[in-house]
Amino acid sequence: MAPTTSPLAVLGLGFVLGLRHALDVDHLAAVSTIVSQRRGLWRSSLVGAVWGLGHTASLLAAGVAVIALHAEIPRGLSQALELGVALMLIGLGLNLLRTIRRGATLHVHAHEHGSHHHLHAHVHPADRLASEPHHHSVVGTRRPFLVGLVHGLAGSGALMLAVLATIPSPTVAFAYIAIFGIGSIGGMMMMSTLLGLPFALAGERFRTVDLALRTAAGIGSIAVGLLLAWEIGTDVGFLA
């Protein structure tokens, strides 16, 4: 990067690229499988925010190794992590299809906070009774965070090397990663909200449409995972 480029311009570019990063098809495929089991635009946007936090956490961890320790991420490790993303996508899709096949149903919970009453809905597997105790705040955020964490690790190699090659200041480089992460959080919040819109509209009123949407999300995730695995295998020569 030219010395005349200001840090503010670099950080602005990082934010824009972070927004764009959320549009990657493998990211959307993974998040769609999670959003399909939530109801409500707020809960859908929360999935995107938590995914972005996991994604940013892994980028910052990789940044410590690459920027502060001047380490390089081996190409073999980078490809192995990308293969892990492919397998994760396949697993998320299969899990969603298995949940549908077992006859998971939409369940509505009522909550009361003082004088305020509200409802929220999500999908329960058929083998789990609605009356059983469960903890939505933990379970509901753990999966998108872990998915974002894996995505961040898999995509960290090229990003970190690009940062090293263009930004001479470690402080600006770390700030770039943080701003990139903020952009990816915002971008994925918007995309997960949009992905959750058809599921929220379908809900209990149109069970057939809801089932079709969830099935499409599962099949789409599997297809993207298989395509990504094929590309990685071809790149390393396994499927040449």
Q: What is the pLDDT of residues 127-175, one digit of tens each?
A: 443 444 444 444 468 899 999 999 988 877 666 667 766 788 888 888 9
Q: What is the pLDDT of residue 203?
A: 67
> What are 51-86's pLDDT values in tens digits?
999 999 998 888 887 787 777 778 888 888 999 999
Decide: helix, strand or coil at residue 117: strand
Amino acid at 184: S
In a domain, 131, yes or no: no
How many domains does the structure of the chain reveal? 1
In a domain, 67, yes or no: yes
Sign of the torsion angle spanned by Cα atoms 52, 57, 62, 64? positive
Residue 66 belongs to domain spanning: 7-104+137-236
- Strand locations in the chain (E): 38-39, 105-113, 116-124
In a domain, 125, yes or no: no
> What are 3-46's pLDDT values in tens digits?
556 888 888 988 998 898 888 999 999 999 999 887 778 888 99
- Confidence bin at 119 (pLDDT 50/70/90): very low
Identify the residue whose tokens are 């990082």: 14
How far is it between the farthest Cα atoms of the chain?
Answer: 65
Mean pLDDT over 229-235 rounds to 88
End-to-end CA distance of the chain: give it in Å, rounded. Answer: 36
Helices (H), 71-135: 75-101
Dist. CA 146–CA 126, nearest whole Å: 25
Decide: helix, strand or coil at residue 22: coil
In a domain, 69, yes or no: yes
Name the CA dihedral angle for 112, 115, 119, 124, rounded to a multiple of 10 degrees: 0
